[in-house]
Amino acid sequence: MVLVIDVGNTNIVLGIFDGKALLDHWRISTDRLRTTDEYGVLIRNLFYANGVDAEAIQDIIISSVVPPVMPTLERMCQRYFGLVPLVIGPGVKTGMDIKYDNPREVGADRIVNAVAAYEMYGGPVIIIDFGTATTFCAVDRKGVYLGGSICPGIGISTEALVQRTAKLPRIEVRRTDKVICRNTVESMQAGVFYGFVGQVDGLVARMQKELGSRAKVVATGGLAVIIAPEAKSIDVVEPMLTLEGLRIIYERNR
């Protein structure tokens, strides 16, 4: 079995694969102050609580956009699993040509998502990841990663609105029935929800035009299931896209 770990700015998502089958997955907070032992005990306790044999883990692969956490996680893998993890970065075979001015600048999660989306749907394909940042990535029909756009995520945008205003409350991000609302909470919900729906459809339309052909649009990330039903441009939601991408890249590097 293979343990795949996706380290994001807000959450760390873990998954266990047996071949191509995702047996289980978990989401924990990304904490830069958490120690090697704290991560090790937490993860092994998750395994124990869900009936996963930690001794059956044969390999570990990690994708991270939070460099300060990596030394801690790498030590955790060695101490609690006796394994040196494969870390997505230079020298790792992704099977994807990256047409970026500086390929080292591309977030590992963006490449992993692109690999998974192209493997699943072919190209051209556009990938939207609703994470701490909302990222838009494009892959052409030959499987070349072309680049994309990066926007403030829904969560941090909403939090900024609350922090920088005196009277606006924290809200749940949800769809409202209309945009001309008669109370503050619904007004904020409408603005956030439909504002991001418009952002998604607008950016995808421009990317489709630049690609010159109709691309499949795949969404992932925590809030994808909320935005996707209203966004006309999104074709499919794949909640486990990043974990699938890590599995695929692991197979290519065995």
Q: Is the predicted pLDDT of residue 82 greater than 90, yes or no?
A: yes
Could you tell me which residues are annotated as the binding site?
Answer: 6-13, 100, 107-110, 129, 132, 184
* pLDDT of 211 over the 90 cut: yes
Do 234 and 215 contact (CB within 8 A), yes or no?
A: no
pLDDT of residue 235: 98
109 counts as catalytic: yes
**C-alpha triplet 28, 135, 128: angle, nearest 5°:** 90
Beta bridge partners of 9: none
CA gap 148, 110 in Å, rounded = 10
Q: Which of 24, 59, 109, 235 is catalytic?
A: 109
Q: Say yes or no to pLDDT of 64 above 90.
A: yes
Q: How many CA atoms lie within 13 A of 46 on its CB side?
A: 15
Residues annotated in a binding site for ATP: 6-13, 132
Angle, CA of 229, 193 and 65, to the nearest 5°:
90
* Domains of the chain (ranges, CATH numbers): 2-87 (3.30.420.40), 97-247 (3.30.420.40)
pLDDT at 143: 96
pLDDT tier for residue 190 given thresholds of 50, 70 and 90: very high
Known binding positions for substrate:
100, 107-110, 184
Is the confidence at residue 254, as pLDDT, over 90?
no
C-alpha span between 42 and 38 (Å, rounded): 6
pTM over 0.75: yes
Q: Among the listed ranges 49-53, 216-220, 243-247, which one has the minimum average pLDDT value? A: 49-53
